[in-house]
Structure 1
């Protein structure tokens, strides 16, 4: 019971802090994400056994660019990021381990897996240079819906493993359950939010459910290779901040692509 209370209080503090920063201003949103990204880099560096300061310098440039809106090569950066994440998904499906020994490989993984996705997460709620905080709130709601119903459906009806070697508890039935309920919530958001159409939110819900789940699996593979259970201990009862944000930053470039280039 005490563990449940610890998990609940930890999640509540995290939610209040994150949502407050999102709603208060664009600056507090980017600022808090910068802090979150710094912690995630630190946790991921421990997984990779890297002590380089280069990822922190790269993050500083990304944050500065987000505040000043000075990156003029979004197209190129998005292509590189999506390509890199696609490679990680291929390595997730394959039986081969993700190579993390070389110094250059560690820097590449930190840039592709964390830093560049955080850049697109920072810029995701800016539509025609106007900050739309509720976009992030609704995406977080979709992630919560997907995670919750994937767990509930998987626990009660799951029989077929999704990626057993990476995450033994995840099932195909759980994945489908999370996807279906995410689409339902997407329809509700599209109906009442006044932001984007219902069809657009259905597509965003599908992207969130699919790539959010895959992002969680990619992090699980990194942790399994490193033989650790959690990325850190900063959130009592939950593990590290990377464990909480892996879905959000992994799906961010794909949602950004849809909202800013396709929709």
Structure 2
């Protein structure tokens, strides 16, 4: 009970910080995500047993560059492709039966092109819409929280079939399906409160958040399994590190932003 209470309090503080920053506007949002991103970079490098100080400078520079300058769409698109390449590389190694290990062999690439663009893309989602619409990003986070909450609750109390036992023994098929279902329902409900995206687009965002969020959680689990640790850090009691709390949104951010980027340029 004490552990659950600690987890809830820590989670509420984390969520409140995000909501307050998004409500305050662009500057506060960017400052918060720079702080979160730097912590995640530190925790990732600890998991990889690798130090790359360049990434600590590249990340805030990239975030400021893409947020405060008129960046060519072709450059943004190439940035998306580069980040997707790294994430697909991690997924290949997650499901590979041939013993491939990008987690060990490509530390430079992962350190620079996993956290950095993923956090930048989160801050760019509001920029796709007039007046830096932070409500869009808030709803994306709400969908992720819905997915995580129902996957945890249903999986813990009713889960029997393991989803990926070798990587994350606690994840279950029942938990995944519950999170997926309620996230889509959440997308449907959000479409009635926010018409910036259409009904169908909110459903697609919900699907992307759930599917790739769960894959991001599995990738994070493999990072920790390779490092022989339970958590990426200790800064968030009950959750571990900031990277532990943001693993799902970090992995799914590229896919969500990529989808919104494309429909904004097609419509």
- TM-score normalised over the length of structure 2: 0.92
Q: Report the equivalent of 1:20.
A: 20
Q: Report the equivalent of 1:255.
A: 256
Aligned equivalents of 2:160, 2:101: Cα separation in 1: 28
Q: How far has the Cα of 1:4 moved from its partner?
A: 2.6
What pairs with 1:188-199 in structure 2 (closer than 5 Å)? 188-199=189-200
Q: Report the equivalent of 1:166.
A: 167
Q: Report the equivalent of 2:239.
A: 238
Aligned equivalents of 1:80, 1:167: Cα separation in 2: 27
Q: Report the equivalent of 1:94.
A: 96
- Going from structure 1 to structure 2, the CA distance change for 1:97 and 1:232 (only over 3 Å counts) comes to farther
Contact 2:191-2:197 at 8 Å conserved across structures: yes
SS in 2 for 1:230: coil
Q: How far has the Cα of 1:233 moved from its partner?
A: 0.4
SS in 2 for 1:130: coil
Count of matched residue positions in the alignment of Structure 1 and Structure 2: 261
Q: Report the equivalent of 2:86.
A: 84
SS in 2 for 1:35: helix
Structure 1 unaligned residues grouped into runs of 5+? none
Q: Report the equivalent of 1:121.
A: 122
Structure 2 unaligned residues grouped into runs of 5+? none
Q: How far has the Cα of 1:192 moved from its partner?
A: 2.1
Aligned equivalents of 2:88, 2:69: Cα separation in 1: 26
Q: How far has the Cα of 1:101 moved from its partner?
A: 4.3
Aligned equivalents of 1:145, 1:125: Cα separation in 2: 20
What pairs with 1:92-241 in structure 2 (closer than 5 Å)? 92-95=94-97, 96=99, 98-101=101-104, 105-128=106-129, 130-241=131-242
Q: How far has the Cα of 1:20 moved from its partner?
A: 0.3
Give per-residue Cα distances to partners, 1:209-230, cap 9 Å, x unaligned. 0001100110100100110000
Q: How far has the Cα of 1:83 moved from its partner?
A: 1.7
Contact 2:180-2:207 at 8 Å conserved across structures: yes
Q: Does 1:64 align with 2:41?
A: no
- Going from structure 1 to structure 2, the CA distance change for 1:86 and 1:99 (only over 3 Å counts) comes to closer
- Going from structure 1 to structure 2, the CA distance change for 1:83 and 1:51 (only over 3 Å counts) comes to closer
Q: Report the equivalent of 2:4.
A: 4
Give per-residue Cα distances to partners, 1:218-248, cap 9 Å, x unaligned. 0100100110000000011210000001111
- TM-score normalised over the length of structure 1: 0.94
